[in-house]
Structure 1
Amino acid sequence: MSRPPVNPAQPAPGSDGSDDSVAEPTSAGAGPAGNQRPAGILVISIVVALEALALLGAAAWYAFELLSGAPVLTFWGAVFTLALLLAFSAWLFAVGLFLFRGYRWTRAAALVAQLFVLTIGFPTMTGGLVFQGIAMIVPALAAIVFLFQKNVIAFASRVGGTSAAL
């Protein structure tokens, strides 16, 4: 007889033989292994969700311009750009949600997204749009700083579940 795999993010079964790993956390802010959700997780999740909303707004504006007959070099190239904006927005929403839940893979995804924002924010600021550049740079830098805090790293260490596929 084999034993199911052990997930280190879940509590060990009780000493009386009962399995307490399926019990709900006692507080709403409890994450994996009963840790409280740090404020940094909330800040990073909000920053990533706002970036996703900004991309969704840009996609809506781009779609409106495309449908209103704005000149484009190639129609299918414009449709592809719109699809990329929508896909990246959905990806950022997923990163924000799963980071809030404490999944490990989201730290790298959030860091990459913030680095992309910085690569757009600095040229925007130095190109004369100072307010818009600062509006991109400051939240991205804050998210990067919070991503490397010990309590954020400890909280966001949950791995995927081991449930059966079917």
Structure 2
Amino acid sequence: MSRPPENHSDASPEPRKPGPNDGSGASPGPFPAEAGTARPRAIMVLSLIVAAEATALLVAAGWYAVQLTTGAPVLSFWGAVFTLALLLSFAAWLFAVTYFLFRGFRWPRAGALVAQLFVLTIGFPTLTGGYVAAGIAMLVPASVALVLLFTKRVISFASRAAGAPPAL
């Protein structure tokens, strides 16, 4: 689909507002998140799931740091410090994904998808390794998030690019 050429000399003072049957599915206003439209519940649920995963990583990093400072035996001290830095950076990254997904940006959908695939990759061996409660606690939210990421409302709401009109 292409845009009509912009001619500012005869532009009407009121921007065109898409109708319910024009097929665009776009809400009035420059961006879905700023147009005053209601945020879909799926975005809220998806943001809560990703925020909970980020919080879990932060808690794991805190526990790991406590273990590291109390003198728990490790093979490599600097390897353990690197692991702690990775846990903290991944938690920060997931919090950023949560924030920008909630605001309606496009790029966090890919970040949330990758995070859910990682959780599934860890959740299945955890479940089959005998830790059923922990495995289910990882698999169920990740599966729900994967389904929600591909719903029509989430895709249409989270289509904002920085400084550009909605993509869909």
Normalising by the smaller structure, the TM-score range is: 0.7 to 0.9
Q: Structure 1: which 5+ residue stretches go unaligned?
A: 1-13, 19-29
1:31 is displaced (CA, Å) by: 1.4
Q: Which residue of 2 aligns with 1:78?
A: 80
Q: Deviations over 1:6-51 (max 9, x none)?
A: xxxxxxxx93379xxxxxxxxxxx7144442111100110000000
Whole-Å Cα distance in 2 between the matches of residues 45 and 129 of structure 1?
26
Which residue of the partner structure matches residue 15 of structure 1? 12
Is the CA contact (8 Å cut-off) linking 1:107 and 1:147 kept in structure 2? yes
- Distance (whole Å) between structure 2 residues aligned to residue 115 and residue 75 of structure 1: 29
Map 1:29-48 to 2 at 5 A. Answer: 31-48=33-50
Instruction: Give 1:73's aligned amino acid.
Output: L
Distance 1:16 1:122 in 2: 57
SS in 2 for 1:31: helix
Quick one: percent identity of the two aligned structures?
Answer: 67
Runs of 4+ deviating beyond 2 Å: 14-18, 32-36
Q: Aligned pair 1:129/2:126, yes or no?
A: no
Query: How many equivalent pairs are there?
Result: 139
* Amino acid corresponding to residue 113 of structure 1 in structure 2: A
Is the partner of 2:62 in helix, strand or coil? helix
Asked whether the 8 Å contact 1:32–1:155 carries over to 2, the reply is: no
Which residue number in structure 1 is paired with residue 7 of structure 2?
A: none
Structure 1 contact 103–157 (Cα < 8 Å) conserved? yes
CA distance in 2 between counterparts of 1:156 and 1:39 reads 12
| Structure 2: gaps spanning 5 or more residues | 1-10, 16-31
- State the match for 1:49 in structure 2: 51
Q: What is the TM-score when the length of structure 1 is the normalising length?
A: 0.79
Which position in structure 1 is the counterpart of 2:27?
Answer: none
What CA deviation, in whole Å up to 9, does each residue of 1:138-164 have, x standing for no partner? 0000000000000100000001137xx
Q: Which residue of 2 aligns with 1:24?
A: none
Could you tell me how far apart the structure 2 residues matched to 1:117 and 1:157 are?
A: 24
What letter is aligned with 1:119?
Answer: T
After superposition, the CA RMSD in angstroms is 1.9
What whole-Å deviation, never above 9, does each CA across 1:34-81 have from its counterpart, x for those lacking one?
Answer: 442111100110000000000000000000000000111111111000
What's 1:153 paired with?
155
